Amino acid sequence: MARDNIQSVSGQDVLKISLRKLVAGRIDLLSYELNVATHAAKSNGYDPGRFERVYTLKEGELYFAFNKETADALIGRWQQALDAMKADGTHQRILDSYR
């Protein structure tokens, strides 16, 4: 594929504009994080089932960062709360709500 067949979009409402182009047939596919794209599709009135994931560019983990001055005890409490949310299913329910 030639580089001139690739569009780069930036600015406000990028995903909304890209979804509109995709539905209108002005582009063939778009690259975005799956959960974000699914949520954006729903938020803009599209059925996410209408779209197909055809290729995964990269899989990775997301992390939280804290200011280096944040107390270790506070970070520990935060980690405990996250671990509890994962253990009781709350974390997964939140993630699923964006799919």
Go through the chain and tell me how many residues it has: 99
Residues 65, 70, 72, 73, CA torsion sign: negative
How does pLDDT run across 68-94, given as a tens digit for each residue?
Answer: 999 999 999 999 999 999 999 999 999
Rounded CA gap, 58 and 11, in Å?
A: 23
Q: For residue 19, how many other CB atoms are within 10 A of its CB? A: 22
How does pLDDT run across 59-73, given as a tens digit for each residue?
Answer: 888 889 999 999 999
Under 8 Å between Cβ of 37 and 64: no
How does pLDDT run across 32-62, given as a tens digit for each residue?
Answer: 888 889 999 999 999 999 999 999 998 888 8
Q: Could you tell me the pTM of the whole model?
A: 0.65
